[in-house]
A and B are shown apart, each in its own frame.
Chain A
Amino acid sequence: MSAQAAAALLSARDVAVRLGDTPVVRGASVTLHAGALVALVGPNGAGKTTFIRALAGLLPADGEIMIGERQLGIMGTRERARAVAYLPQGHVFHWPMQAAAVVALGRHPHTDPFATPSPQDRAAVSRAMQRTATEAFADRRVTTLSGGERARIALARALATEAPVLLADEPTASLDPRHQLVVMELLRSAARDGGAVLAILHDLTLAARFADRVLVMDGGRIVADDVPSEALSPQRVAEIFGVEAMMVDTGEGVALIARHPI
């Protein structure tokens, strides 16, 4: 299925967000199709997190954001929560709850507050834990887990919602190389199963290697939206990130190698 034929699960046009008096996102557009993993890259302060929070409906924004056929602004909070899963930075857990109980939080938008979890809820939780290979520590307290395990639990929580759209803010931050790859493969497989995934990444090499498309953001605008080899061309990487980089074709996709600051 080509990207054009796939359904647009999220489309945003001319999104603008001000935080206080500062315009942080100035007319950014994106379309997320089923089956695609899209990376959002850009230097610190480019407005990536603000943009993705606006797409998740967590910030008031100008412009048009459509989730499937529905306008984000008129969706109820629970309806929106069932359609868009959001994985914030940092994998925060404030209470030392059991890992499985944390993953089950992903079912919050589906569950009546006073009902017991339905068989569907249980099934979704176990699917999410199976996919992230977290069943082995389902009973452990999240605070006793390693960084990589926490990242997978946080991702499992987001996957358990089984929302068509997943927005992830730096899902690979502070992970060791192996877990960065594990998480990226999980995001890609979530997309391949028919979801649309947008992930903020700081590692351009990971973005080039895993993403079907890369959005480059700078100064609150999307300055490139293309396949990795085009979006992350050495000229653009030099211009936007101030890094001299080279692109190597590995045979199974392109690899970007950052060499030195300019």
Chain B
Amino acid sequence: MNWFNRQDVTLNAALAMLVIILFGLSLMVGPANLSLDRVIDGLFRGEGISGIIVRDIRLPRTILALLIGATFGLSGAALQGLLRNPLAEPALFGAPQAAAAAAALVIAFGLAGATSYAVPLAGIAGAMLAIGALLAIAGRRASLTVTMLAGLALASFAGAAVALILNLAPNPYVAMEVAFWLLGSLQDRSSDHLLIAFPFLLSSWVILGRSAGAFRALTLGEDAAASLGVNIDRTRRAVVLGVAFGVGAAVAICGSIGFVGLVAPHLVRRLVGYDPARLMLPAALTGAALLLVADIAVRLLPGVVEIKLGVVTALIGVPFFVAMIFSERRMLEGSPS
């Protein structure tokens, strides 16, 4: 009854359909537009130019957009469920930035190759530090003000760490490389990247999905949830771990991409009756759809240089966040600090 609800079959089916359509579109769109026939041909027969484009270039990128978008949607829904706060989002707490800083450290100083497991592991460690520190600073009652201030501090610190890495980069070329990578992109990602990230993304889904019931009980606050048999400390640890696995691995592959975790749950929350458990699956599907749209959009925008995915999600996400603050203002003003 928790993460999946029969009432939501239509919603989830519609969202899944949307994701499938966008998946197909993502394989068709690019510098060389391919017809659906050629995509299907390239995908299943894999011959000629269209085979290379679809299988080697667009398929890994598309699958990554889907998986990473879903992970961000799920991470946002989980953090919001834990903190009972619709404005919670990994990026506001510096999680992707911290993951990026840790991964950049590994890349910039040549500690490991860009497609080794060291990069996602570093990313996960960075994200875990950020989310863990956030929950530790915000404390058990997780008041909105304290949480947001702690998130601000952590995001700033992660930014400073990134700046330090750029500052100390062995040569300007590496600094440029890291700086561009930080902007967030799925361009030129291969199936190697996919294979590295997948186990971590999958673990993140399992860890977060198992806490869905706890998020629902937390609607009543921590004491009531605990009295209903929810282990609050374990749930907090699960969220730290799950979000860190998901965001850390995602950021290690595609750089810093924010705000999908904020926007995706918000778009579907009303449709699932504001139930934090029923929210999980639609939020994941919506996150996948959003990142697919964004990744298609960056390929359609005219210009010599492809606009980075993280730039697009931030440009759309931040105004969205501000609009949410406006609409939630009454609730925020009434919240205990």
Contacts and interface: CB of A to CB of B under 8 A. Distances in A.
Contacts of A56: 227
A106 interface: yes
B1 A77 contact: no
Complex A-B, nearest 4 residue pairs according to Cβ-Cβ distance, in ascending order: A81-B229, A86-B227, A94-B84, A113-B213
A106 B229 CA distance: 10
Given A53-B223, A111-B213, 15 more contacts: A57-B227, A78-B229, A86-B227, A88-B221, A88-B224, A92-B221, A92-B224, A95-B219, A96-B274, A97-B275, A102-B219, A105-B220, A108-B230, A111-B1, A114-B3
A97 to B, nearest CB: 5
Interface string B222-240: 0110111111000000000
Contact of A84 (B4, B85, B219, B227): B227
Nearest to B5: A116
A78 B221 CA distance: 17
A5 interface: no
B219 A105 contact: yes
Interface in A51-109: 53, 56-58, 77-78, 80-82, 84-88, 92-98, 101-102, 105-106, 108-109
Contacts of A262: none
Contacts of B151: none
A93 B223 contact: no
A136 interface: no
B224 A86 contact: yes
Interface string B182-225: 00000000000000000000000000001011001111110110
Nearest to B2: A113
12 contacts: A86-B224, A86-B227, A88-B223, A92-B220, A93-B220, A95-B274, A96-B274, A97-B219, A105-B219, A106-B228, A114-B2, A114-B3
B310 interface: no
Nearest to B231: A77
Contacts of B210: 113
A115 interface: yes
Contact of B230 (A57, A77, A85, A94): A77
Interface of A: 53, 56-58, 77-78, 80-82, 84-88, 92-98, 101-102, 105-106, 108-109, 111, 113-117, 141, 157, 161
B286 to A, nearest CB: 18
Nearest to A121: B1
A105 B216 contact: yes
A95 B223 contact: no
B76 to A, nearest CB: 15
Given A86-B224, A114-B3, A109 B273 contact: no
Interface of B: 1-4, 6, 84-85, 210, 212-213, 216-221, 223-224, 226-231, 273-276
Contacts of B2: 113-114
Contacts of A92: 220-221, 224
A80 B217 CA distance: 16
B269 to A, nearest CB: 8
Nearest to B210: A113
Given A95-B275, A101-B275, A117-B1, A58 B219 contact: no
A94 B218 contact: yes
A157 B219 CA distance: 12
Nearest to B217: A108
Contacts of A102: 219-220
Among B210, B223, B230, B276, max chain A CB count under 10 A is at B223
Contacts of B218: 94
A97 B273 contact: yes
Contacts of A111: 1, 213
A81 B219 contact: no
Contacts of A84: 227
Among A80, A97, A102, A141, max chain B CB count under 10 A is at A97
A255 B218 CA distance: 39
A116 B227 contact: no
B270 to A, nearest CB: 9
Contacts of B221: 88, 92, 94
Contacts of B227: 56-58, 81, 84-86, 88
Nearest to A77: B229
A93 B217 contact: no
A116 B1 contact: yes
Given A77-B231, A108-B230, A116 B216 contact: no
A95 B221 CA distance: 10
A105 B1 contact: no
B217 A105 contact: yes
Nearest to A141: B274
B230 A113 contact: no
